[in-house]
Amino acid sequence: VTRKVWRIGVAGLGTVGAGLLSLLAERPDFAPAGFSAEVTGVSARSRTRPRPVDISGIPWFDDPVALAASKDNDLFVELIGGSDGPAKIAVETALRAGKPVVTGNKALIAEHGAELAALAEAHKAPLLFEAAVMGGTPAVKMLREAMVGDEVEGVAGILNGTCNYILTQMEATGRSFADVLAEAQQLGYAERYDPTMDIGGFDAAHKITILAALAFGCAPTYAAAEIEGIEAIDAIDIRLAKDLGYRIKLIASASRSDGGVSVRVHPTLCPLDHPLARANGAVNALFIEGRQIGRIFLQGPGAGAGPTAAAVAADIADVMTGAVRPVFQAPAKTLRPFAPVDASQQVGRAYVRLLVKDEPGVIAAVSETLAEAKVSIDSFLQKPVEDVSGVPIVLTTHAAPEAVIAEAVRRMAALPAVIEPPRMIRIARI
Ligand SMILES: NC(=O)c1ccc[n+]([C@@H]2O[C@H](COP(=O)([O-])OP(=O)(O)OC[C@H]3O[C@@H](n4cnc5c(N)ncnc54)[C@H](OP(=O)(O)O)[C@@H]3O)[C@@H](O)[C@H]2O)c1
């Protein structure tokens, strides 16, 4: 298509949609090579809600699907959110009409990416989603474009700024998870009504599912992700992990081996001098491991109106200039099916924290249980902690299959001197 002025339809005028409108109003000719953008239609739920940008001169659509189908725009931007519902129908409608789509919707791409990629390619309509992962920090283009000369072996990082903010605050103040979450909700760092997507690890799982597809050329398969959030992280664990030289982070990772692909999100102990341990506050950070290139580290804002809108604009520029690749690195038809590895056979080290009764013989019983399960101990720490009934015991294991460590933890839980279920947290392999 040869046009210099692109007419853009924007569905969703929340944080990111309004941010995009501000950017386009200020810099309509942001794109290289003399292209410019003009917003010719917008859609949101409420027509009367006050917006941080002036939309009075832009045609309004009550229905985002009608905006997606309208002949008055050449490019459709979806910033509504949600894996199904109006966002999905609108995106499908635009693609079927052969219209390029730019979205920031990680849930949609992680859960329906393969079918949408097939639809996009069948209708020769680009589908771009830089803003879906790490907000303004360009992780998607990095994997889809910059890394294609190499073979990516794995990616791992901090993909949810809310969780990272909460963990950072818990460490800084010694306060409980519930307290810090409530404060994060007040400050707008966490969703007020339902923070589950963030703290349960689901948002990070959407993002790592997308990165895995881009890195390994496989169909994005959200259902295969193993997900554990930060709800059960206790202030004690943050303190004790630090005494052992670690910081607890919610790490999302994807790796490839002969057995298949592993995609997981779980709290992880990172050595204090590790770059991921040093990424504190509401930031995102990512390691990419390339066979030839080695290790790349990216860190930056993972959310916010300005950064995320800039990522959306970068995708719009790609559409304008024709710099568009297959949706997931490889054409949809040739994407490999997702072959998950057996998680219980993954080998790693673990931190285990027990709360035991203050009586003789407990340590011997714990050690014996571990020996019976064939898990060897790397370090052992027994430390009285104020405000806690019972004595915390912390141990770290040598590397063992996760199923073996889980069995040892089950046996420890059954010991009469153990007061509450032991807490197991994996130790970073990187
Ligand atoms: N916030 C971030 O920093 C960030 C970063 C990266 C990616 N993203 C992604 O970007 C997308 C948008 O996020 P956001 O934070 O901007 O969300 P948001 O602030 O909640 O805004 C959502 C927008 O969608 C509109 N909307 C909801 N249902 C609709 C419907 N049925 N028809 C038309 N419009 C509808 C809402 O309308 P009203 O305004 O009238 O209620 C609102 O303007 C999501 O997919 C999100 O995951 C966000």
Kindly state the DSSP code that residue 228 receives in the 8-state scheme.
-
Q: What is the pLDDT of residues 285-298, one digit of tens each?
A: 999 999 999 999 99
Instruction: Show the DSSP H helices in 128-259 as ranges.
Output: 139-141, 161-173, 177-187, 196-199, 202-216, 235-243
Confidence at 387, pLDDT banded by 50, 70, 90 = low
- Determine the atom of ligand 1 nearest the C-alpha atom of 132: 7
pLDDT above 60: residue 377: yes
Write the single-letter amino acid at 48: T
Task: Give the number of other Cβ atoms within 10 Å of residue 227's Cβ.
Answer: 17
pLDDT of residue 355: 92
Confidence at 188, pLDDT banded by 50, 70, 90 = confident
Q: Mean of the pLDDT values across residues 330-351?
A: 90
Proportion of the chain above pLDDT 90, given as a percent: 88
Please indicate whether residue 126, judged by its CB atom, sits closer than 6 Å to ligand 1: no
| C-alpha of residue 79 to centroid of ligand 1, in Å | 5
pLDDT above 60: residue 1: no
Please indicate whether residue 206, judged by its CB atom, sits closer than 6 Å to ligand 1: no
| Cβ-Cβ contacts under 8 Å for 411 (sequence gap 6 or more) | 369, 372, 373
Please indicate whether residue 105, judged by its CB atom, sits closer than 6 Å to ligand 1: yes
To the query of whether residue 207 is one of the catalytic residues in this protein, the response is yes
Among 22-31, 308-317, 335-344, the range scoring the smallest mean pLDDT is: 335-344
Q: Closest Cα partner for 327 from 255, 207, 220, 253?
A: 220
Please indicate whether residue 44, judged by its CB atom, sits closer than 6 Å to ligand 1: yes
Q: Mean of the pLDDT values across residues 130-142?
A: 96
Return the structure tokens found at 287. 């390691």
Please indicate whether residue 16, judged by its CB atom, sits closer than 6 Å to ligand 1: yes
- The residue nearest atom 8 of ligand 1, judged by CA position, is 104
What pTM, to 2 d.p., does this model score? 0.96
pLDDT above 90: residue 279: yes
Q: Mean of the pLDDT values across residues 27-44?
A: 96
Q: Mean of the pLDDT values across residues 277-290?
A: 96
- Determine the atom of ligand 1 nearest the C-alpha atom of 105: 45
Element spanning 42, H or E: strand 36-43
Distance of CA 152 to the CA centre of its chain: 18
The CA distance from 255 to 156, in Å, is: 8
Task: Give the number of other Cβ atoms within 10 Å of residue 24's Cβ.
Answer: 23
| C-alpha of residue 69 to centroid of ligand 1, in Å | 20
| C-alpha of residue 194 to centroid of ligand 1, in Å | 15
Across all residues in the chain, what is the average pLDDT?
94
| C-alpha of residue 116 to centroid of ligand 1, in Å | 20
Confidence at 68, pLDDT banded by 50, 70, 90 = very high
pLDDT above 80: residue 40: yes
Q: Which of 207, 249, 374, 383 is catalytic?
A: 207
Q: Mean of the pLDDT values across residues 184-195?
A: 86
pLDDT of residue 358: 87
pLDDT of residue 345: 81
Element spanning 69, H or E: helix 64-69
The CA distance from 31 to 332, in Å, is: 28
